[in-house]
């Protein structure tokens, strides 16, 4: 699942410093010549690729960027100081588009790569420059030029780092609402979320990650029940899965049963996906009387034989969610650092993703064939049987792209 993170910003390069009008004035040198220095160039604005960033969320908070103006020239032929360039750090993969002309100004494909998006104004010339054999005392100077300014749109295709997994109604969308600025629909009935959506969780400047809300999964999904498994495919690209469990369900299913049923479905879908890093998120604890909480949480942990991370939260009032997001951020950063230090790990990750996607593809293909066979059988039995099954092949291979 890709989504396009966008941020419109305004960049303004610095104006060039003006040239100076000045004559040498010294004792005993009655008619000193011109000595007005040139101005300094205005600073330019650059984009620079930064591997540690993965969203454009920071650019939603500050939108105007201005590089420094060049200083004016001075007497004694002193050149003005150049305005400082402004370097805007962006994630690798960012493109910058001029909003007026639709021209692509920059495609940042590597860390450290710099591309200018607004050129600083040229410096003005001091009067010294205008001296000639016929004009020994020019009074002419030139002004510094304006810097370029542009409205640009930054665009980045992002992949979710974290994926939500759980039964319908577990509180996945509520969680995303509470930790990001995304606002997926929340309601007290199953299958509220029908298509995946993404939210950006921003901890602080330059630290953010992307989380995917996918529709709930139910028992039998791998055989096509509910919304089926079509959306599980998206989870194959996430680094950490949050298995969310409703600890105060309305129906008869216990949290422990709910938890194990999801794992069974995952196993059927992709044995590699089930091995992925998964964290348990025990949700809606505000609904459980305090004295029962620990036993209920333990029942889920025991049922799963769980040894991984466990978080006890209440998505609706944000209890425990901050710590969870903090730990997720740390974990994602560590993974990235480890992969940078050891390219072998990155290759293993790549192969794992390919394996999961292949398993997903096969599983979906099996379902497709089963569906076709069923449909063919039906047609033989009864020519008029209307096709009430809502299998739509397009649903299975779509790469959903979200523009926010």
Ligand X SMILES: Nc1nc2c(ncn2[C@@H]2O[C@H](COP(=O)(O)OP(=O)(O)OP(=O)(O)O)[C@@H](O)[C@H]2O)c(=O)[nH]1
Binding stretches for Mg ion (CB under 5 A): 173, 192-193
Span from 4-12, 126-134, 161-169, 345-353 in contact with ligand X (CB under 6 A): 161-169
Out of 93, 138, 166, 228, the only residue in the binding site for ligand X (CB under 6 A) is 166
Return d(Cα 153, Cα 99) in angstroms, integer: 6
Q: Which does 345 bind (CB under 5 to 8 A by kind): Mg ion, ligand X, none?
A: none
Give the closest residue to 67 by CA, choosing from 2, 146, 144: 146
Q: Which does 227 bind (CB under 5 to 8 A by kind): Mg ion, ligand X, none?
A: none
Asked if residue 372 lies in contact with residue 284, where contact means CB atoms within 8 angstroms, the answer is no
User: Binding site annotation covers 173?
Assistant: yes
User: Binding site annotation covers 213?
Assistant: yes
Give the closest residue to 230 by CA, choosing from 370, 363, 402: 363
CB of 173 to Mg ion, least distance (A): 3
Q: Which does 180 bind (CB under 5 to 8 A by kind): ligand X, Mg ion, none?
A: none
CB of 261 to Mg ion, least distance (A): 18
Span from 2-10, 21-29, 166-174, 347-355 in contact with ligand X (CB under 6 A): 166-174
- Rule CB under 6 A: say whether 128 interacts with ligand X: no
What strands, in cross-sheet order, belong to the sheet with 45-50?
86-91, 45-50, 114-118
Give the closest residue to 197 by CA, choosing from 205, 208, 186: 186
The smaller minimum CB distance to Mg ion, of residues 71 and 173, is found at 173
- Rule CB under 6 A: say whether 261 interacts with ligand X: no
Out of 21, 154, 315, 328, the only residue in the binding site for ligand X (CB under 6 A) is 315
- Rule CB under 6 A: say whether 187 interacts with ligand X: yes
Out of 188, 383, 394, 399, the only residue in the binding site for ligand X (CB under 6 A) is 188
Asked if residue 124 lies in contact with residue 62, where contact means CB atoms within 8 angstroms, the answer is no
Asked if residue 21 lies in contact with residue 164, where contact means CB atoms within 8 angstroms, the answer is no
- Rule CB under 6 A: say whether 170 interacts with ligand X: yes
The smaller minimum CB distance to Mg ion, of residues 173 and 238, is found at 173
Please give the structure tokens belonging to residue 346: 């990155």
- 8-state DSSP, 128: G
- Rule CB under 6 A: say whether 348 interacts with ligand X: no
Angle at which helix 343-381 crosses helix 321-341, to 10 degrees, equals: 110
Query: What three-state secondary structure class fits 314?
Result: strand
Instruction: Name 358's Cβ contacts closer than 8 Å, sequence gap at least 6.
Output: none
CB of 349 to ligand X, least distance (A): 28
Phi, psi of 54 (to 5 degrees): -135, 0
The smaller minimum CB distance to ligand X, of residues 248 and 335, is found at 248
- Rule CB under 6 A: say whether 186 interacts with ligand X: yes
The smaller minimum CB distance to ligand X, of residues 154 and 288, is found at 288
Query: What three-state secondary structure class fits 21?
Result: coil
Q: Which does 316 bind (CB under 5 to 8 A by kind): Mg ion, ligand X, none?
A: ligand X
| Residue positions counted in the chain | 404
- Rule CB under 6 A: say whether 226 interacts with ligand X: no
Sign of the torsion formed by the C-alpha atoms of 5, 325, 303 and 252: negative
- Rule CB under 6 A: say whether 283 interacts with ligand X: yes
Burial 239-266 (b: 16+ CB within 10 A, else e): bbbbbbbbbbbeeeeebbbbbbbbbebb
- Rule CB under 6 A: say whether 137 interacts with ligand X: no
The smaller minimum CB distance to Mg ion, of residues 88 and 176, is found at 176
Out of 115, 119, 131, 190, the only residue in the binding site for ligand X (CB under 6 A) is 190
Considering all CA atoms of the chain, what is the largest pairwise distance in Å, rounded to the nearest integer? 117
- 8-state DSSP, 326: H
Asked if residue 248 lies in contact with residue 287, where contact means CB atoms within 8 angstroms, the answer is yes
Site residue total, ligand X (CB under 6 A): 24
The smaller minimum CB distance to Mg ion, of residues 53 and 214, is found at 214
Binding-site residues sit at 166-173, 191-195, 213-216, 283-286, 314-316
Residues in contact with ligand X by the rule CB under 6 A: 166, 168-174, 186-188, 190-193, 215-216, 283-284, 286-287, 314-316
Binding-site residues for GTP sit at 166-173, 191-195, 213-216, 283-286, 314-316
């Amino acid at each position: 699942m890709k989504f396009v993170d966008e941020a419109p910003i305004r960049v303004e390069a610095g104006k060039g410093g003006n040239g100076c009008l000045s004559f040498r004035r010294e004792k005993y040198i009655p008619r000193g010549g011109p000595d007005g220095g040139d101005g300094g160039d205005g600073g330019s604005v650059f984009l620079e690729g930064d591997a540690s960033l993965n969203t454009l969320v920071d650019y939603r908070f500050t939108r105007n960027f201005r590089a420094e103006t060049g200083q004016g020239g001075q007497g004694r032929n002193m050149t003005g100081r150049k305005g400082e360039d402004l370097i805007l750090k962006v994630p690798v993969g960012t493109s910058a588009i001029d909003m007026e002309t639709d021209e692509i100004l920059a495609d940042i494909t590597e860390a450290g790569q710099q591309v200018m998006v607004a050129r600083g104004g040229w410096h003005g010339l001091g009067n010294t420059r205008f001296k000639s054999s016929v004009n020994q005392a020019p009074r002419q100077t030139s002004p510094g030029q304006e810097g370029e300014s542009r409205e640009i749109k930054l665009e980045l295709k992002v992949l979710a780092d974290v994926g939500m997994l759980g039964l319908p109604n577990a509180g996945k969308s509520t969680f995303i609402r509470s930790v990001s600025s995304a606002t997926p629909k929340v309601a007290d009935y199953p299958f509220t979320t029908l298509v995946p959506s993404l939210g950006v969780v921003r901890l602080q400047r330059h630290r953010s990650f992307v989380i995917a809300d996918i529709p709930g999964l139910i028992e039998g999904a791998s055989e096509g029940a509910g919304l089926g498994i079509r959306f599980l495919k998206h989870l194959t690209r996430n680094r950490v899965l949050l298995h969310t469990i409703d600890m105060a369900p309305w129906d008869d299913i216990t949290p422990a049963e709910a938890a194990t049923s999801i794992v069974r479905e995952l196993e059927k879908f992709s044995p590699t996906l089930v091995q992925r890093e998964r964290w348990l998120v025990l949700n809606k604890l505000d609904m459980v009387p305090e004295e029962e909480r620990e036993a209920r949480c333990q029942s889920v942990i025991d049922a799963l034989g769980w040894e991984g991370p466990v978080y006890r939260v209440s998505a609706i009032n944000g209890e425990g969610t901050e710590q969870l997001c903090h730990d997720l951020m740390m974990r994602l950063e560590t993974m990235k650092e480890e992969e940078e230090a050891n390219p072998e790990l990155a290759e293993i990750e790549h192969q794992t993703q390919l394996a999961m996607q292949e398993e997903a593809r096969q599983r979906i293909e099996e379902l497709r064939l089963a569906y076709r066979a069923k449909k063919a059988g039906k047609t033989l039995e009864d020519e008029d049987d209307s096709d009430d099954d809502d299998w739509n092949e397009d649903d299975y291979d779509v790469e959903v792209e979200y523009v926010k």
